[in-house]
Amino acid sequence: MFDEEREKSGPGGHPEATLFEQAQAGHQESVNLLLMRHERLVHYVIRDQQLWGLPYEEAAQAGRQGLWRAILRYDPQRGTPFASYAYRAIMHHVWAAVQANLVAMRREVCMGELRLYAYREGRDPAEVSRWEEVRQSLHVLVGRLSARLRLVIVARYGLDGQEEQTLQALGAQLGCTGEWVRRLQCEALVWLRQPAHSQELRELLSYHTQAQYELAEALASAWLRRKAGRRNG
């Protein structure tokens, strides 16, 4: 619905393309009008993402910052619908806010990572049931890894109920360096993130947007390039 770009009239009856020119030239009224017109896109993007504890209004403020930057950088001459261009900018700023919030809460940044949360007494039974489904799906998925990669993931994330092990401690256990363990962990996560492998878990977590699929592919491609570089080095 947001990919449909309409010729909207701005101040003085100018089309929206003119509004972008005026906004990028410093005309605040045009900036404000564009922000107001595309406010719905901010909320559309936020509802499509996992906020991991970030308050909705904080996510909205971050999204508006992304929308503002998209307005100032958008070039209508390229032919890309503004909604498609702005979606990525909004998502980037929302995820930056999510990551900052997680760091502030002293929790691991979860972009592309898997994490189980400990149950707390007094949780809603439906929520407990849902997270039990997530737990089971995750363990089935991790169980499909090779024995070595499975050992690394289970130990690094404490999936066996034990304390999470550091790279150095796990390296000492396996007789290798912490850096080598980190590479094994990255290899395992690349495999686990692939939508073809993790579709059931993604469905349970509502973690299956096009942008998230593209992220998984980008992370996999980056890892493969680094791996090829190490072999050729």
* CATH number of residue 71's parent domain: 1.10.1740.10
Q: Does any domain span residue 80?
A: yes
In this prediction, residues 51-63 reach a mean pLDDT of 87
Note the pLDDT tens digit of each residue in 194-214: 888 888 877 777 766 677 667
pLDDT of residue 105: 57
Note the pLDDT tens digit of each residue in 74-92: 998 888 899 989 998 898 8
* CATH number of residue 141's parent domain: 1.10.10.10
Q: Does any domain span residue 119?
A: no
Mean confidence (pLDDT) of the chain: 78
pLDDT of residue 36: 94
- Asked if 129 and 97 sit in the same domain, the reply is no
Helix H, strand E, coil C: the string for the chain is: CCCCCCCCCCHHHCCHHHHHHHHHCCCHHHHHHHHHHCHHHHHHHHHCCCCCCCCHHHHHHHHHHHHHHHHHHCCHHHCCCHHHHHHHHHHHHHHHHHHHHHHHCCCCCCCCCCCCCCCCCCCCHHHHHHHHHHHHHHHHHHCCCCHHHHHHHHHHHCCCCCCCCCHHHHHHHHCCCHHHHHHHHHHHHHHHHCHHHHHHHHHHHCCCCHHHHHHHHHHHHHHHHHHHHHHHC
Containing structural domain, residue 67:
11-104
